[in-house]
C-alpha cells in the first residue's frame, strides 16, 4: 500500500535536502508546485543538484529513470517527483 501523497512529498523534500546538505531551509517552506530549478522556490538548485536528486530518488525508491527527457520532467517540482514515484510504484505492484 502506498503512502499518502502529502507524506510522500514531505519525504521527498527531506531526501533532497539531506542529499544536497541543505540545512538552512525548513521543508515546509519549499513549495510543492513551484519549479525546483530557477524560479522563486526556497531551494535554489542547479544541474549538478539534478543528477544527485535523480540518483537519490532511484536509490531510495528502487525506480529507474533512464531517459534524460523523462528525468527532466520528473524533477520539475516536488509534486512532479511524487506523482512519478506513485505511478512507478503502482506499475510495479500490478
> Distance between CA atoms of 57 and 63, rounded to whole angstroms?
7
Extents of the domains making up the chain: 5-22+30-93
Which residue, among 13, 11, 31, has the nearest Cα to 22 in the 3D structure?
Answer: 13
Q: Give the pLDDT confidence score for residue 47 in this predicted structure.
A: 86
Query: Cell 506499475 appears where?
Result: 91
Question: pTM higher than 0.85, yes or no?
Answer: yes
Q: Could you count the other beta carbons within 10 Å of the beta carbon of residue 16?
A: 23
Largest Cα–Cα distance of the chain, in whole Å?
A: 40
pLDDT tens readout for residues 6-58:
999 999 999 999 999 999 999 999 999 999 987 677 887 888 999 999 999 99
Architecture of the domain spanning 5-22+30-93: Orthogonal Bundle (1.10)
pLDDT confidence bin for 2, thresholds 50/70/90: low
Q: Give the pLDDT confidence score for residue 40 in this predicted structure.
A: 77
Note whether 3 and 82 are within 8 A (CB). no
Amino acid at each position: 500500500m502506498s503512502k499518502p501523497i502529502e507524506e510522500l512529498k514531505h519525504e521527498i523534500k527531506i531526501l533532497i535536502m539531506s542529499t544536497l546538505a541543505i540545512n538552512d531551509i525548513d521543508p515546509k517552506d519549499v513549495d510543492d508546485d513551484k519549479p525546483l530549478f530557477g524560479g522563486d522556490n526556497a531551494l535554489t538548485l542547479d544541474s549538478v543538484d539534478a543528477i544527485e536528486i535523480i540518483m537519490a530518488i532511484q536509490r531510495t525508491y528502487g525506480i529507474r529513470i533512464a531517459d534524460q527527457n523523462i528525468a527532466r520532467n520528473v524533477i520539475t517540482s516536488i509534486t512532479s517527483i511524487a506523482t512519478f514515484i506513485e505511478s512507478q510504484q503502482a506499475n510495479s505492484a500490478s
